[in-house]
Structure formats: structure tokens, C-alpha cells
């Protein structure tokens, strides 16, 4: 492993069917004013809302709510939530939902005491908070983003058509605790489940496809990918399979809680392409990634051939005997493609609502990252988007 790094992840996790009980333990650590944050209402249908509210009541908490946090939370919604949290003198932001709700809670956390416009400070200038932030706790109901154990917070600005994620360097932005009950994910529609599975897979790829040194992170990544492939096939056929769903939930957390990025430059171009597609279409995050991935990976493969060959053999069990490196690598991507189709992922951006007329705007909104095997220019971004149509 080359390079220097530091590692600290302060989020406390409670995992399993009984994990919500630990909310009692956590609530005792904070003041009485809680802001409960949730999405469009799935938690009211599946009973999680009632269970959480009962625990809040038993602990004598004074609760305000921010409801209706949409998938791909918007800047307007952030401004609204900041007002609610300020007026309630919040001691804890309790996010109950998927990545959108958890991300949003972190964005509110860094904005409540911020004297400047949070969009400009955090999303355009990528600065760290220099004000007091509010603690965030999560009860996770959708699996994929890893938001439950990282400092990422993605916000969409519809006015400027930019969807930007800030992964804060300041570890106090990470949730103080997260409650992971795999049972909560069993009510997810199939579309969301598989989008989340692909999001997990791609998080691992984004970190794996970088660097040429011998790195423990790559071996961990291969193990995580193999576990995910195995469990995803079971869950795809039998979504109520608790064992598979619990493994997927745990894999999601480790895919993006900073561990497998250690010692790596990391790529993240699929996410940059996907986020820009998302800014124009408001499509489900994992599907935007699925739709741009293969054109991107086929394009960069020659620049990182050794790694794509290793990916084919170690993750997809491609038999290398008698084949050139290029053939082995391409066979790996073909295996990945058939797995993606088996899950029913969206394989092109036109199905997500992208049109030819949008492509220039999407290309302009794609941030170019420099950690992968090929630093793209704007024309190459446009070509990959065209290919993804
Ligand atoms: O809003 P409700 O009614 O709750 O419905 C949600 C939403 O419509 C539904 N859902 C969630 N849990 C459910 C459920 N439906 C039934 N049963 C349940 N148990 O699922 C829909 C999608 O939820 P959402 O939170 O939007 O999905 P996800 O977890 O994929 O989060 C996506 C957001 O996270 C960002 C994405 O860009 C996007 O904005 N990301 C955050 C990252 C991070 N923090 O590091 C990294 C990721 O790459 C990603 O960019
Ligand atoms: Zn993602």
C-alpha cells in the first residue's frame, strides 16, 4: 500500500432486527429538542414512523418534523429545513429514511448555524463548516448510498441544474449513530432495491478502479463485490430473503464508509456523469449510474487494463487461459452487463428521460475527476453520454 492516510470513523452502528431499541440509549445522550426528518411517507405506511414516535415520546422528547424530503433533495427544501431546525433549537436531527433523508439531515446540520449561503459555501466552494454543527442520527430504510456512515451530503439545485455532492472532510458531519434494521428494507419496491444494489456495486468500483500498487483495499473490495453479487441474485428472485437483504445492507455500509478508499486515489467519474444526468432528469440515483457505467468502463478499460483483467478474474471468475488481457477484461465487463440485465437495471439514459438536446448541458454539469485511469476532457464526456443514450 502506497501513500499516507488517516482513518477515523466515529459513527456508532446498531445492526439487526432489534436495533431500534438502541434509539432509547442514544436519545439519552442529547437534549430534548429533536427534529424528526423523513421522506414522502413510506415510513408511515410500513409502521416505522409509529415505532420511532413511540420511542421519542417515551423519552419525553419535544419533536418538530421535517417531512416530504424528496429523493435527490433540493436546495429549496434545505432552506426550509434549516428554518425549522433553527426555530426548534434542535439538539439532534433524527433522519428516518434512505440516503436522501440522511444526506439532507447532514446538509441541515452544517447549515443551521452557518452565516453564509450553504449552497455557495459547501457546494460551490466546497468549504468545511466553520460554525457549530448539529448531531445527526439515522434510522436507515433504504440501502445503497452508505450515507449512514459517511460524511456525504448530495443536494440538487434545480435552478442551476446542478446536483452536487460534498463529502465533508470534517468527521463531525458523519452521523453520530445509525440504526440498521434489514427488515425495514423489505418494503422497498423492486426498482429501488436493485437501484440501491447497483449503487453499492458502483461505489466499490469507483474506489477499486484507481491506482496500480498492491493495496489491501482492493482485496477487501473484491470480497465485498463477490458477497454483493451472491446476495443480489438471491434477493432479486426472493426479495423477502432476510439473510440476503441483511448482507446487502452491511455491504452497502462498508462500500462507502471510507474504508476501501484508503490508500487509493479513487475515480468517481461514473458518479459525476450520473449526478449530472440526475440534475436534468431527477432519476433514481442508482439507475443513473447503471445507465452510464458500461460506456464509461469500456472507454477507460485500455488505460487500466491490468485492473480490468484482475476484476474479470477475481470478481467474475473469468477463466484467463489462452486469452489476451483485452479479451479477459472485456469478458469481465460482459459478465457485469449480464448481471445488470438480470437485475433489471436501466441500461441507458434515454429511458431515464435524457434527450439529445440535454447532452451538452449534462456534459457541462459533469465535474471531471482526476483519480481514475483516464482524465476525461469535455468531448470525451459528451461521447460517453451519447454512447449511454
Ligand atoms: O420518500 P419515501 O416515501 O420514504 O420513499 C422513498 C423514496 O421514494 C423510498 N423508500 C425508502 N425506504 C423505503 C422506501 N419505500 C418503501 N419502503 C422503504 N423501506 O425509496 C425512494 C428512494 O429513497 P432515497 O432516499 O432517495 O434513495 P437512496 O437511498 O438511493 O438515496 C439517494 C440520494 O443519496 C445520494 C444520491 O445522489 C441521492 O440524492 N447519494 C448519497 C451518497 C452519500 N451520502 O455518500 C452517495 C451516493 O452515491 C449518492 O450520491
Ligand atoms: Zn452512489
Q: Same CATH fold, 190-388 and 12-185? A: no
- Show the cell assigned to 338: 449480464
CATH class, range 12-185: alpha beta
What residues sit around ligand 2, an ion, with C-beta below 5 angstroms?
Answer: 199
Provide CB contacts within 8 A for 303, sequence distance 6+. 373, 374
Confirm or reject: Cβ of 184 under 6 Å from ligand 1: yes
- Give the position, in ligand 1's atom list, of the atom nearest the Cα of 46: 17
From first to last of the 389 residues of the chain, give the pLDDT tens digit.
888 899 999 999 999 999 999 999 999 999 999 999 999 999 999 999 999 999 999 999 999 999 999 999 999 999 999 999 999 999 999 999 999 999 999 999 999 999 999 999 999 999 999 999 999 999 999 999 999 999 999 999 999 999 999 999 999 999 999 999 999 999 999 999 999 999 999 999 999 999 999 999 999 999 999 999 999 999 999 999 999 999 999 999 999 999 999 999 999 999 999 999 999 999 999 999 999 999 999 999 999 999 999 999 999 999 999 999 999 999 999 999 999 999 999 999 999 999 999 999 999 999 999 999 999 999 999 999 999 99
> How many of the other CB atoms lie within 10 Å of CB of 7?
9
Among all bound ligands, the one having the nearest atom to the CA of 276 is 1
Residue 41 C-alpha to ligand 1 middle, in angstroms?
13
> DSSP label at 56?
H
Residue with CA closest to ligand 1 atom 38 = 72
The predicted model scores a pTM of 0.98
Among all bound ligands, the one having the nearest atom to the CA of 182 is 1
Residue pair 358/385 in contact by the 8 Å Cβ criterion: no
Residue pair 107/118 in contact by the 8 Å Cβ criterion: yes
Confirm or reject: Cβ of 67 under 6 Å from ligand 1: no
CATH number (2.60.40.420, 1.20.1090.10, 3.40.50.970, 1.25.10.10) of 190-388 reads 1.20.1090.10
Sorted by where each begins, the domain ranges of the chain are 12-185, 190-388
Phi-psi region of 150 (alpha: psi -120 to 50; beta: other; left: phi over 0): beta
Residue 55 C-alpha to ligand 1 middle, in angstroms?
24
Q: Please choose, from the candidates 250, 93, 282, 107, the residue with its C-alpha nearest in 3D space to the C-alpha of residue 185.
A: 250
Would you call 136 helix, strand, or coil by DSSP? strand
Amino acid at each position: 500500500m502506497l501513500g499516507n492516510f488517516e482513518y477515523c470513523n466515529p459513527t456508532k452502528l446498531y445492526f439487526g432486527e432489534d436495533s431500534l431499541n438502541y434509539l432509547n440509549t442514544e436519545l439519552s445522550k442529547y437534549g430534548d429538542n429533536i427534529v424528526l426528518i423523513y421522506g414522502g411517507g413510506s415510513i408511515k405506511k410500513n409502521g416505522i414512523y409509529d415505532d420511532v414516535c413511540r420511542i421519542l415520546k417515551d423519552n419525553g422528547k419535544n419533536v418538530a418534523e421535517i417531512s416530504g424530503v424528496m429523493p435527490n433533495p433540493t436546495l429549496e427544501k434545505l432552506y426550509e429545513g434549516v428554518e425549522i431546525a433553527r426555530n426548534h433549537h434542535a439538539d439532534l436531527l433524527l433522519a428516518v429514511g434512505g440516503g436522501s433523508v440522511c444526506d439532507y439531515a447532514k446538509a441541515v446540520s452544517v447549515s443551521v448555524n452557518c452565516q453564509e449561503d450553504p449552497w455557495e459555501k459547501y457546494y460551490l466552494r466546497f468549504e468545511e463548516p466553520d460554525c457549530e454543527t448539529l448531531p445527526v442520527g439515522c434510522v436507515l430504510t433504504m440501502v445503497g448510498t452508505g450515507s449512514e456512515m459517511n460524511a456525504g451530503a448530495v443536494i440538487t439545485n434545480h435552478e442551476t441544474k446542478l446536483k452536487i455532492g460534498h463529502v465533508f472532510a470534517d468527521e463531525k458531519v458523519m452521523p453520530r449513530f445509525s440504526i440498521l434494521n434489514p427488515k425495514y428494507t423489505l418494503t422497498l419496491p423492486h426498482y429501488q432495491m436493485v437501484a440501491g444494489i447497483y449503487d453499492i456495486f458502483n461505489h466499490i468500483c469507483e474506489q477499486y478502479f484507481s491506482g496500480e500498487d498492491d493495496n489491501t483495499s482492493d482485496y477487501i473490495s473484491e470480497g465485498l463485490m463477490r458477497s454483493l453479487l451472491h446476495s443480489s441474485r438471491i434477493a432479486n428472485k426472493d426479495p423477502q430473503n432476510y439473510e440476503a437483504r441483511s448482507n446487502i445492507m452491511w455491504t452497502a455500509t462498508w462500500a462507502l464508509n471510507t474504508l476501501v478508499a484508503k490508500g487509493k486515489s479513487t475515480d468517481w467519474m461514473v458518479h459525476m456523469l450520473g449526478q449530472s444526468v440526475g440534475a436534468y432528469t431527477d432519476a433514481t440515483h442508482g439507475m443513473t449510474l447503471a445507465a452510464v457505467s458500461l460506456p464509461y468502463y469500456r472507454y477507460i478499460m485500455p488505460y487500466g487494463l491490468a485492473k480490468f483483467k484482475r476484476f474479470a478474474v477475481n470478481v467474475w471468475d473469468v477463466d484467463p487461459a489462452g486469452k489476451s488481457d483485452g479479451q479477459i477484461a472485456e469478458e469481465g465487463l460482459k459478465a457485469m452487463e449480464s448481471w445488470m440485465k438480470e437485475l433489471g437495471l436501466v441500461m441507458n439514459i434515454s429511458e431515464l428521460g435524457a434527450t439529445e438536446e440535454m447532452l451538452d448541458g449534462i456534459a457541462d454539469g459533469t465535474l471531471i475527476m482526476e483519480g481514475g485511469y483516464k482524465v476525461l476532457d469535455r468531448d470525451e464526456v459528451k461521447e460517453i453520454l451519447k454512447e449511454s443514450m
